[in-house]
Every structure is written in C-alpha cells, then in structure tokens.
Amino acid sequence: MPARTQAQRRADTRERLLRAAAARFAAEGIERAAVDAIADDADRTSGAVYAHFGSKEGLLTAVVDSWKHEVVVAATAEMSAATTTEERLAALWRNFADPPADGSAWVQLEHELWLHATRNDAARERLAQRYRDVWATVRDELTAWKHTGEVDPPVPDRAVAPLLVGLLIGLEMQHRLDPDAVDEEVARAGLGALLGVTAPAEETHA
C-alpha cells in the first residue's frame, strides 16, 4: 500500500480534530472543553489544534461551518426537487430542525459560539461578520426565489435575511424543547408569513 501524502495526513488530522471537538463542545460547551482533551481524544497534540485552526474558537467555528455546509447542500437539493411552495418551506425547516445525522448538533454548537461571542469582544465582531456573510448568501437565494413569483416578503429587502435566520434559530430552539408544540406546521406558517407566500400550496412550479 503506498504511503499517504502529507496532504492526506493533514486532512486526516483535521477530520479527527473536528470529530473530537464536536463531541467535546456538545457535551461540555466551549468554555469547559479543553484543547488538550480534544487533542487527546483525536490522538493528536494540542499543537495540531493551533496549527490547523488557530484557536479553540477557530476549531468550534470550523465544526459549525462544516456541518452547516452539509445542511445547506441537503436543503438546497430538497427545495430544488420540491414541486410546491409548501414543500419547499417544509424542506427548509426540516433540514434546519432535523438535519443530516452528522450535523444533528450544529445549531446547538452555534448557540455555544454565540454565548462565547457575548463574553469576548473580538469573538463578537468575528461572529457578527460571519452572520453578515450568511445574510448576503440568504439574500441572493431569496432574490432568486422572489423572481419565481412564489414569495413576496412584506418587509424591507435588507430585513428579510436577518429575520429569516432569526426566525429559524428561534423556532429550532423552541422545537428542541417542545417538538409537539413547535412542529412543521407552525414553522411553515411562520416562514410563509415572513416570506409572503403568494403561490397556492398545491400549485406545481413549472
């Protein structure tokens, strides 16, 4: 068997650290999770954490972003395959509240990152910029959706993306505590109202 390349070894180390960090952060939170413990769990040194991610915060951000990317890819695929507006809203919510198995804790870790940022000025600005970047992506997607005639948000354009992200996060938090009360029907109603759904639910999108 040929020896692994340096790039392959680095990729393996990065993946090991991401998996170990995800477990530690979810179980202990960012403040209590120790870099040394994460490195031990991954059978690596703490120096590898700093070499790959710069800091514990950078490691957490990488974990969250990798899972979030998987969720976005899955949601986009399902929404593209849907034939009605109602199905598209359901796909958006389902992939956020019940994402693919590997990303099942990503929103919980997003909260951990937010809590850390509220206690750290430098982290607060980095997270704020990260959300601004997310909003820009969401605005692009919503603009394309709006052009189909299916949605017409009754709020200023600059407000739609922050409101949508905030609504999804808030609904997910409540759904995690009381899934029967905050279910898909409730989520679809809220998302539909914010987005100004104009197409009938049963209409097939050509």
pLDDT tens, residue by residue, 74-93: 888 888 899 999 999 999 99
CA trace torsion 96, 18, 126, 89 (10° rounding): -10
Structure tokens at 158: 């600059």
Q: Determine what percent of the chain is predicted with pLDDT higher than 90.
A: 54
In this predicted model, what pLDDT tens digit does every residue of 141-172 receive, in sequence order? 899 999 999 999 999 999 999 999 999 999 99
Q: What is the distance between the alpha carbons of residues 11 and 154, in angstroms, rounded to a whole number?
A: 45
> Where is 191: in which H helix or E strand?
helix 184-195
CB 176 within 8 A of CB 127: no
- Residue 30: give the domain boundaries: 1-54
CATH code, domain with 77:
1.10.357.10
- Pair 166, 143 in one domain: yes
- Pair 45, 75 in one domain: no
- 17: number of CA atoms within 13 Å, CB side? 28
In this predicted model, what pLDDT tens digit does every residue of 131-144 receive, in sequence order? 999 999 999 989 99
- Pair 116, 188 in one domain: yes
C-alpha dihedral sign at 48, 50, 54, 55:
positive
- Pair 50, 83 in one domain: no
Residues 6+ away with beta carbon under 8 Å from 41: 20, 23, 24
- The candidate with the shortest Cα–Cα distance to 138, out of 182, 84, 194, 100, is 194
